[in-house]
Chains A and B, each alone.
Chain A
Amino acid sequence: MSTTDPLSAFPLAMEGREAVEGATREGRSLTPTERAIAAVEAYTPAEAAERTLRNEMLADSRPGSRQPLIINMGPNHPSTHGVLRVIVELDGEVVREVVPVVGYLHTGIEKQCENKTWWQAITCVTRMDYLAPFANIHSYVLAVEKLLDMQIPARAEWIRVLLSELNRLASHLVFLGTSGLEMGAMSIFFYCYRERDEVLDMFEMVSGERMNHRYFQVGGCAQDIPEGFLERLTKFLKEMPGRIDEYEALLTNNPIWIDRMKGIGIIPAEQLLGLGVTGPTLRAAGIGLDLRKSEPYSGYEHFQFDVPTEIAGDCYARYLVRVREMRESVKIMQQVIDGLPEGPFISDDRKVVLPPREELAYSMEALIHHFKLVTEGFKVPAGEAYATIESPRGEMGCYVVSDGGPKPYRVHMRDPSFVNLQALRPLAKGGYLADLIAVIASLDPVMGGVDR
């Protein structure tokens, strides 16, 4: 873009122009989303000032004659959970139209996976939904294992369940903390992040990283859980129910919290289902759909737990469901600790899984396997598979296509945040602008997962 162009000085105005350019090149008119983007960015500051002046001169003070106000919220806004941008058309304080704009965090992870070997791609997929990295890898390794027809040792499955539930707890803690922050309840944030930090420390103990772990491997887990981990977790789990009581004491009966959340953001459960919404948002509307119960994977059928549901379907119900899910996660983890089977933590299929480190010292075959696996990667039979798990936000699906080679032909992640965020428009339309914040918070989208 030339420097003499007046629009180029204002970066926000660029996207409106991009919309027009893209549509012109494809020989079509602007779609509703593109029109909204172009409209909100149509003016340079000089033009905007001029129009305001003209509007003021034409201002009509009679009731019902006011013009809609279009405001741009985000992508850098403290209460949009990352880089979500929402274009809102307001009539006074009432939201007439909502257009969510996503893609600011798009990093082409699915494309990158196609150029990595099957085991290297784990590193990529874990970076999608950064609050639920274990959920991302879990669905990916399940899909690959499906194509390979692999049997996973029981201990590995139980460790996977343990970390997935710990991850659910950490993710819900972030939801609770940040939602509180957005509603003006500051202290809950510090309480939640205190516990979340302890969880991240435990993740670090197991996998070496606080976030973006690549701990689950095709065939099992990267290593066994370290010494002292279970003791630390047991201590944490003993404290946790009391801590959840603390959160509830701060919020559940808090009149401001209730005012901001109760009766806000309701649409019928059937409509939510039609929009593909899953997870706590759907369960808060009365449909008790949970993949851990309906299609148990990784041995979830061994554990006793309830699927919390509510019928109100408002923001408050979503909050209640998540808090009760945290209690259920604690229950599941306690059962894992009590019954964790002994045995290997990863399959011994040498065509897929790296041989144990010490074996390289004396076994030529192990050395060859290790070399082949690291340089070339393992091959996966041609075909396609779709594996789904219950992530903290809903149905996390991974669709993999293999052409029989050592690299994935296609990896697609059906991220629940992406699909659930479509419900923002019907949920927020007709409400107040302040309720829009509550609705975004209660949908709990993670933009890393939305944009991938």
Chain B
Amino acid sequence: MGRPACKRRPEGRAGELSDVSTQIEATSPGAVVQEFEDHGELTVEVRADRILEAARALKSGPSQFTLLSGVTCADFPDEPGRFRLAYHLRSVQTGGRVRLRAWAGGLDPQIDSVTSVWPGADWQEREVFDQFGVRFHGHPDLCRILNPLDWDGHPLRRDYPIGGEEVQFTDAV
């Protein structure tokens, strides 16, 4: 059912890249892993260790993504990177939008915090930490926010048990 997304790899073809990727590549060469446009939304995937550089480039660069709309995450247990972070950026000046993506890694998920670029990332990164267990380096106050402070586990991970009662008599069929 997957839609064929028009994926483009940036190797040596900087001329074909979108403005957003060009802006990131200008300050942090090799940071962009891939970019594609799907359903009218531009997605730029960057290497996890370059996320802070990419964030700085996009905020101060010509496209001026001054508003961080949201930070969120999705768990893909079968992928090597496992936790896929999505940063939705919006430019107040140009009206443009972009989704910045990065994989935080499976065993010990961690990534740099973007709170120094957008202070509004504070609570949203705390939420991702709380629900997925991704640790954000340089976050000023990384503790749980929605779940109780001593909660065990990270509920939005795909392997977190849902709970509930078993269906009765299933074993008797």
Give Cα A34 to B143, complex, Å. 7
Task: Answer whether A422 and B74 are a contact pair too, CB < 8 Å, given A273-B67, A397-B88.
Answer: no
Q: Report the minimal beta-carbon distance from B168 to chain A, rounded to whole angstroms.
A: 19
**Contact present for A18 and B120 (CB under 8 Å):** no
Task: Answer whether A33 and B148 are a contact pair too, CB < 8 Å, given A275-B120, A404-B1.
Answer: no
Q: Within 8 Å of chain B (Cβ to Cβ): is A401?
A: yes
Contacts of A422 in B (CB 8 A): 119-120, 122-123
Q: List 26 A-B contacts (CB under 8 A).
A: A15-B149, A17-B150, A18-B149, A21-B149, A30-B143, A31-B140, A33-B141, A102-B145, A103-B145, A103-B147, A108-B155, A111-B160, A275-B119, A276-B69, A295-B95, A382-B3, A383-B5, A383-B39, A384-B86, A397-B88, A399-B70, A399-B72, A410-B75, A412-B72, A418-B123, A418-B124
**Contact present for A274 and B2 (CB under 8 Å):** no
Give the residues from 227 to 254 in chain A that come closer than 8 angstroms, CB to CB, to chain B.
none
Give Cα A337 to B33, complex, Å. 50
**Contact present for B143 and A22 (CB under 8 Å):** yes
**Contact present for B92 and A395 (CB under 8 Å):** no
Q: Within 8 Å of chain B (Cβ to Cβ): is A281?
A: no
Q: Within 8 Å of chain B (Cβ to Cβ): is A37?
A: yes
- Complex A-B, nearest 8 residue pairs according to Cβ-Cβ distance, in ascending order: A276-B120, A404-B1, A18-B150, A414-B70, A22-B150, A382-B2, A106-B146, A410-B74
Q: Within 8 Å of chain A (Cβ to Cβ): is B49?
A: no
* Mask of B81-99 contacts with A, CB within 8 angstroms, 1/0: 0000010100010010101
**Contact present for B147 and A106 (CB under 8 Å):** yes
Contacts of A306 in B (CB 8 A): none
Interface residues of B (CB under 8 A from A): 1-3, 5, 38-41, 43, 66-70, 72, 74-75, 86, 88, 92, 95, 97, 99, 118-124, 127, 131, 140-152, 155-156, 160, 162
Q: Within 8 Å of chain B (Cβ to Cβ): is A157?
A: no
**Contact present for B74 and A18 (CB under 8 Å):** no
Question: B162: which of A111, A146, A273 is its contact (CB, 8 Å)?
Answer: A111
Question: Closest B-chain residue to A30, C-beta based?
Answer: B143
Give Cα A37 to B148, complex, Å. 12
Since A276-B68, A384-B43, A386-B70 are in contact, a sample of 6 more A-B pairs with Cβ atoms closer than 8 Å, ordered by chain A residue number, is A22-B143, A25-B152, A287-B92, A383-B5, A399-B72, A399-B88
Give Cα A401 to B75, complex, Å. 10
* Mask of A389-403 contacts with B, CB within 8 angstroms, 1/0: 000000101010100
Contacts of A23 in B (CB 8 A): 143
Contacts of B5 in A (CB 8 A): 383
Contacts of A37 in B (CB 8 A): 149
Task: Work out how many contacts link A and B, with CB atoms closer than 8 A.
Answer: 137
**Contact present for A31 and B41 (CB under 8 Å):** no
Task: Answer whether A414 and B69 are a contact pair too, CB < 8 Å, given A111-B155, A287-B92.
Answer: yes
Q: Within 8 Å of chain B (Cβ to Cβ): is A119?
A: no
Give Cα A363 to B28, complex, Å. 61
Contacts of B70 in A (CB 8 A): 386, 397, 399, 412, 414, 419
Task: Answer whether A19 and B143 are a contact pair too, CB < 8 Å, given A381-B3, A382-B1, A385-B41.
Answer: yes
Question: Closest A-chain residue to B38, C-beta based?
Answer: A383
Give Cα A451 to B147, complex, Å. 9
Give the residues from 141 to 181 in chain A that come closer than 8 angstroms, CB to CB, to chain B.
146-147, 149
Give Cα A322 to B130, complex, Å. 34
Contacts of B127 in A (CB 8 A): 418
Q: Which of A31, A32, A287 has the most CB of B within 10 A?
A: A31
Q: Report the minimal beta-carbon distance from B28 to chain A, rounded to whole angstroms.
A: 22
**Contact present for A386 and B142 (CB under 8 Å):** no
Give Cα A275 to B149, complex, Å. 24
**Contact present for A386 and B155 (CB under 8 Å):** no
Question: Closest A-chain residue to B133, C-beta based?
Answer: A26
**Contact present for B156 and A111 (CB under 8 Å):** yes
Give Cα A410 to B160, complex, Å. 14
Give Cα A102 to B162, complex, Å. 23
Question: B41: which of A102, A386, A395 is its contact (CB, 8 Å)?
Answer: A386
Q: Report the minimal beta-carbon distance from B156 to chain A, rounded to whole angstroms.
A: 6
Give Cα A294 to B143, complex, Å. 35
Give Cα A379 to B2, complex, Å. 11
Contacts of B88 in A (CB 8 A): 386, 397, 399, 414
